[in-house]
Structure 1
Amino acid sequence: MAAPAAARGRPVRRPRRALHGVILLDKPLGLSSNDALQKVKWLLRAEKAGHTGTLDPLATGLLPLCFGAATKFSQVSLDADKRYTATLKLGLTTTTGDAEGDVVQTRLEAVSQVTREAIEAACAACTGEIDQVPPMYSALKHEGKALYEYARQGIEIERASRRITIHGIDILSWHDDELVIDVRCSKGTYIRTLAETIGEHLACGAHLIGLRRTGSGQVSLQGAVTIEALQTLTEAEREALLQPIDVLVSHWPAVTLNEEDATRFLTGLRRRVRLPNAEAVRVYGPAPAATLDQRPQVFLGSAHVKEGELIPIRLLSPLEVQSQLDAAARPEPSTTDF
């Protein structure tokens, strides 16, 4: 008789299950976004999962992880504005724009000439719509290969500048050669490049030594959980931390349908509505699986409105709709700070 897998030193295969919702993860330093996703997916025994955009291994902070039906709306978070706390080291520039690179230039004497007024002016100069050239040490692809692979071989690839928006930069602290700022920006912003640009404006150079994402779209670190904390919880407690399927689209206008229209909408049919045009709305209606005397409103999917028609974009399946009723019956997440 063959010995069990665990006895033979192989990992035990855990049965997967269908879970639907979003975990707000506080990603640790040194872990890639995909590694973090796989660890949480394993802890939850989830069948389907995806993250909402890469957060560099050297960065910590908010990484929304989508499970089941929530993966249909992960692009919304990917395209959303972001918020970061960035720590800059003034007086030194590096090959990578961060602490991993080799020092290229040292201008420590110029740091003593930096004033708060100069920092405020540098931040103001970097605010608004600006053009930014992606760094060579990035995951952007050129002919199927990441730019950082070329950079490690000493090959420089010409990169086109990209228009981004810096909505605001606030100074959180400044002491000697270390500057901490709060950055609100559009997707696609490279904070390493922003740090270098601020250093150029200050005429002393700078590189990034710390980065923490604090917000993505409508969600923030409030309610986020670490992998270490997840490991201490029971499976039921982990599941209770799942945010609703629609949490990433909570800022879209809401449309509520009656029972007949909700049923037809879920089959992909357009519905007539008296609503202004809208690029994206979230749609709710009575839960088809609920009893007649108790029909809670549940999230049905997304749509856009054009010339009086509600046109489906992303729809939930009957099982995904039912999962919301199941989630409502789960205990509320603990209020413990993670």
Structure 2
Amino acid sequence: MNAPRARIQRRAVHGVLLLDKPLGLSSNDALQKAKRLFRAEKAGHTGTLDPLASGLLPLCFGAATKFSQVSLDADKRYVATLQLGETRVGGDLEGEVIERRPVSVTAADLRSACDRFTGAIEQVPPMHSALKHEGKALYEYARAGVEIEREARRVTIHAIDIVEGEHDRWTLDVRCSKGTYIRTLAEDIGRALGCGAHLAALRRTGSGALKLDQAVTLEALEGMSEAERDAQLLDADALIADCPAVRLDAENAARFLSGLRRRLELADADCVRVFGPEPKAFLGAGHIAAGELISTRLLSPIEVQGLLTERTA
């Protein structure tokens, strides 16, 4: 008889991990692996990457999970490889080939096609996506052979640059708004070129101000000690690091944490990070209107104490 597996002793962990997700894992699989490595009580990711995509996946632990929406709403950046001449089910390498057509495309042709999709555009979400219809993901309907009518959504493609390529295979650098489907963009570009296309590879290189070159792999994390892993975590306020910081004395910090507005001689601001008197006493996020500091997302006293304990341990 096999001995029972030892139960993992969970612990409070707070911060943001920039993970370089590998191919073949879903975002949730990658999250669960990282959560086990950190023995974290609470964790969440900030937007899915398909198993066939790799790259930047910010993971939030503990108090940082309260700010994951910021990363969800942020602009994204991808390196996308397009295979021209083949249209596939689902728009990526995993689907069966629907049609093959001859390819005669120059860099100038591709540049012209990409320009047509730069700016604000309408995209119809693919059936092979995690969008929900009556409680079920669209990909579940797609796997059952059921087509659901989808409304077009407005997204913004900030820029498309040609990285390299020739003939029927090209790599693009795409900067876009949240909610953009790169496989749909690949199909649209292929349609504009008259030869069809599918997404052959995808790697996320940026999310807001966060960059892939700051990320760590699961393999590297597995080879680290727990202290070394913890050192990879960014502060719990990392996802709102662009917001100015406001520091309160002990009395005002306690009142802010209880949800009370505080009057300050500061200029209005849509977002501020709020700290107590201790250097790492992050309390939450707020905004300043008409001289008043108003909370928008508060940490619990236990979370604040956990941050102080972590940083002084």
Q: TM tier, shorter chain?
A: over 0.9
RMSD: 1.6
Q: Which amino acid aligns with 1:146?
A: A
Corresponding position: 1:81 with 2:75:
yes
2:2 aligns to what? Answer: 8
Q: What is the rounded CA distance, in whole Å, between the counterparts of 1:161 and 1:232 in structure 2?
A: 45
Q: What is the rounded CA distance, in whole Å, between the counterparts of 1:259 and 1:151 in structure 2?
A: 56
Superposition deviation, residue 297 in structure 1? 5.5
- Kindly, what percent of the aligned residue pairs are identical? 65
Superposition deviation, residue 266 in structure 1? 1.8
Q: What is the rounded CA distance, in whole Å, between the counterparts of 1:118 and 1:74 in structure 2?
A: 39
Q: Which amino acid aligns with 1:102?
A: E
Gaps of 5+ in 2: none
What is the aligned length? 313
Q: What is the rounded CA distance, in whole Å, between the counterparts of 2:46 and 2:264 in structure 1?
A: 32
CA contact (8 A) 2:12 2:306 kept: no
1:290 aligns to what? Answer: none
Structure-to-structure mapping, 1:25-36, within 5 angstroms: 25-36=19-30
Corresponding position: 1:60 with 2:54:
yes
2:64 aligns to what? Answer: 70
Which of the numbers 309, 312, 316 marks the counterpart of 2:292? 309
2:153 aligns to what? Answer: 162
TM-score (norm 2): 0.95
Q: What is the rounded CA distance, in whole Å, between the counterparts of 1:284 and 1:264 in structure 2?
A: 12
Greater Rg over alpha carbons, structure: 1
Q: What is the rounded CA distance, in whole Å, between the counterparts of 1:170 and 1:298 in structure 2?
A: 42
Moved more, 316-325 or 119-128: 316-325
1:320 aligns to what? Answer: 303
CA contact (8 A) 2:88 2:99 kept: yes
Deviation readout 1:34-86 (Å, 9 max, x if unpaired): 11111111111111111111111110011111111001111111111111110
Deviation readout 1:97-124 (Å, 9 max, x if unpaired): 001111111112xx22x12111111111
Q: What is the rounded CA distance, in whole Å, between the counterparts of 1:155 and 1:213 in structure 2?
A: 30
Deviation readout 1:179-238 (Å, 9 max, x if unpaired): 101111111110000001111121111100100011111211122111111111111111
Deviation readout 1:230-273 (Å, 9 max, x if unpaired): 11111111111111101110112332334432232122110112
Q: Which amino acid aligns with 2:266?
A: L
Q: Which amino acid aligns with 2:138?
A: L
1:39 aligns to what? Answer: 33
Q: Which amino acid aligns with 1:300?
A: L
Moved more, 140-149 or 267-276: 267-276
Q: 1:236 to 1:93 in 2, by over 3 A?
A: same
User: Alignment partner of 2:214: what SS?
Assistant: coil
User: Alignment partner of 1:88: what SS?
Assistant: strand
Corresponding position: 1:152 with 2:143:
yes
User: Alignment partner of 2:13: what SS?
Assistant: coil
Q: What is the rounded CA distance, in whole Å, between the counterparts of 1:123 and 1:65 in structure 2?
A: 32
Moved more, 56-65 or 277-286: 277-286
Q: What is the rounded CA distance, in whole Å, between the counterparts of 1:162 and 1:63 in structure 2?
A: 24
Corresponding position: 1:269 with 2:273:
no
Which of the numbers 211, 222, 235 marks the counterpart of 2:226? 235
Corresponding position: 1:119 with 2:113:
no
Structure-to-structure mapping, 1:275-290, within 5 angstroms: 275-287=266-278
Q: What is the rounded CA distance, in whole Å, between the counterparts of 1:228 and 1:9 in structure 2?
A: 27
Q: Which amino acid aligns with 1:219?
A: L
Superposition deviation, residue 176 in structure 1? 2.1
User: Alignment partner of 2:122: what SS?
Assistant: strand
